[in-house]
Each structure stands twice: as structure tokens, then as C-alpha cells.
Amino acid sequence: SKVPPIILNNGVEMPQLGFGVWQVPDDEAERAVATALEAGYRSIDTAAFYGNEAGTGRAVAASGLPREDIFVTTKLDNGDQGYDATLRAFDASLAKLGLDYVDLYLIHWPLPARGTYIDSYKAFEKLYGDGRVRAIGVSNFLPEHLERLIAETSVIPAVNQIELHPHLQQHAAREYHAEQGIATEAWSPLGQGKGLLEVPAIVAIAQKHNRTPAQVVLRWHVQLGTVVIPKSVTPSRIRENIEVFDFSLDTEDLAAISALNEDRRLGPDPATHDPR
Ligand code: NAD
């Protein structure tokens, strides 16, 4: 594969770059995922909430690739937190995906006011023990949520998938994850394509390397050592976004991108996000 693996804390290999499908309708997801698999992606990031597990699963099945060559992540929807509800939601996700295991299962949001992420994660541990998921983890957990999780459960999460891009560099979270052996995975790695790709410093680095701004930003993620899951439904961009393993940013480029941090979220604050 063109994409090197990250070794998770249980020894499982996860491609460092994958394909995200948030906001891709189910009937378009099959074609988008098929295009990504043809382009060389071997990791797909979906979620029950995205409503496109079925289309994602159809593309995986139609690809003709051996199941073990594709790393499939899905996520527990907020409304399904709790021990029994989590087990039922997992069965429903597997059925939609048409798979008999997933590679990585994540709690989508901590919803700390509900107090259900510990019970949900205990159900994850059961699924992991039963061999129905190869790795378990979380998404949008702040260090305080991880601390409680680690204190009250037995399997350290393999991954925390968080919003991360040059305007939100997440230094404290990445440091905490590294101390605990948790891989950091970046969502909205391109800043949702809103403005970040026009920032003059990024454009200048792209011109210097004869690359696109998106490739520069994705290469920055790769050099941070995080897992990254850019999304596009445009075939040329899907192909462009994986071509980031044949050039390197130098220390000057990295310093210029470091200087863009504004600690500015595009998405919700995990401490308070609790949609009903
Ligand atoms: P992203 O940062 O990947 O940006 C995607 C957008 O950037 C595209 O819609 C397009 O407008 C633009 N774009 C993509 N490639 C481009 C290119 N080569 N040139 C120019 N513009 C380009 O945003 P995202 O979709 O929010 O995040 C990626 C994935 O992260 C999602 O699909 C999903 O899988 C995951 N995610 C997870 C959570 C979570 O709560 N866990 C939240 C948001 C996203």
C-alpha cells in the first residue's frame, strides 16, 4: 500500500491515512468509497450517525479486496449509549455494513452530562473480548474524560479521534494521548476546506513543493505522526489527498504551519456537546 501503518497499543496496524465519509449520503457513499479504494485507500471512517454504513459496506464488498486488507471504523451513535443499547447498536452497525467484525469501534461523543460513556465502553470491552472488534477507542474525549475512563475500565483506548488541523493543533491532548499510548486521529484535518486551504503560508509552502494546499496540510498531519481521514466526494481530490507519502515538509515549513494555531474549533466543544 502507499500508506504506512500506525501500530496501535494492542499491536493492530491502522493505515495512517484513511477516507472519511461524514455528510456523504448513503447512495453516494458507495461510489465515493469505491473511488477511494481504487485510489489506494485501505481505511474507511464511517459512523452510525452518518447514515451511510450500508453504502460503505456495499463498496467494501464490491471492491473484491480481501476483508483483512481494509480497515473499517464505525462509531456508536449518541442515542445508543449505555451497556445494552451499545451491544444492540453494534449489531445494527455490523448488519448495515454487511461485515462480521469491524476494525475499530469508537464512542462518538463523551456526552459527560449523561454519565453513560463508562457503561458504553464496558460494552465495547465485551465486544473486544468476543473478537467482534479488533480495537476499541473513543472520539471527542477531553483528557479529563479519558482519565476517568482509564481509571474505571480495563482496556486503554487504542485511538481518540478529535478535531485537529493547523488552526486547532491540540498540543495538550496530543501530549496526554502520547503519555497514555493512545493514537491521535485527526477529524476535519483540512479544516473542512473552509479557508484553511487559502491561508497564504499554506499556499506558499504548496507552491514551493509543487503540491496542493490540501496535500501540504495532510503531509503536516503525517509528520505529526497522527492518523488522518480527509473527506472528499470529488474523484480527483480523493486521489490527490492520498498522494502525500512522496515528499516532506522541512523544518521551516513546519514552523510556519505551527504558527497558524489559533486554538479555534470548527465543531462543537466536547465538554458541552449533547444533542438530543
Ligand atoms: P475535511 O477537513 O476532511 O474537509 C473536507 C472538505 O474539504 C471537503 O468537503 C471539500 O470541501 C474540501 N476538500 C477535500 N479535499 C480537498 C482538496 N484536495 N482540495 C480542496 N478542497 C478539498 O472535513 P470533514 O469531512 O469534516 O472531516 C473528515 C472526516 O473526519 C469526516 O468525513 C469524518 O469521517 C470524520 N469526522 C469525525 C467527526 C467526529 O465527531 N468524530 C466529526 C467530523 C468529521
| Ligand 1 centroid distance, CA of 100 (Å) | 27
Atom 25, ligand 1: residue with shortest CA distance: 231
Ligand 1 pocket, residue 273 CB under 6 Å: no
Cell 456495499 belongs to: 58
pLDDT in tens, 125-136: 999 999 999 999
| Ligand 1 centroid distance, CA of 37 (Å) | 17
Atom 29, ligand 1: residue with shortest CA distance: 20
Confidence of residue 222 (pLDDT cuts 50, 70, 90): very high
Active site residue 50: yes
Q: How far apart are CA 31 and CA 103, in angstroms?
A: 21
pLDDT in tens, 169-212: 999 999 999 999 999 999 999 999 989 999 999 999 999 999 99
Q: Order the strands of the 227-228 sheet from edge to edge.
A: 19-20, 43-45, 71-76, 102-107, 133-139, 159-163, 183-187, 227-228
| Ligand 1 centroid distance, CA of 195 (Å) | 13
Other CB atoms closer than 10 Å to residue 245's CB: what's the count? Answer: 16
Q: How far apart are CA 266 and CA 117, in angstroms?
A: 24
Which of 103, 112, 118, 105 is closest to 161 using CA atoms? 105
Ligand 1 pocket, residue 104 CB under 6 Å: no
Mutation test of ligand 1: which of 19, 164, 192, 216 has the most ligand atoms closer than 8 Å to its C-beta? 192
pTM above 0.90, yes or no: yes
Ligand 1 pocket, residue 73 CB under 6 Å: no
pLDDT in tens, 58-73: 999 999 999 999 999 9
Complex ipTM above 0.95?
A: yes
Asked if residue 23 lies in contact with residue 50, where contact means CB atoms within 8 angstroms, the answer is yes
Cell 475512563 belongs to: 149
Domain ranges of the chain: 5-258
**Which of 3.20.20.100, 3.40.50.720, 3.40.50.970, 3.40.47.10 is the CATH number of 5-258?**
3.20.20.100
pLDDT in tens, 132-175: 999 999 999 999 999 999 999 999 999 999 999 999 999 999 99
Q: How far is CA 44 from CA 35, 51, 224, 244, 263, in A?
A: 12, 14, 20, 17, 27
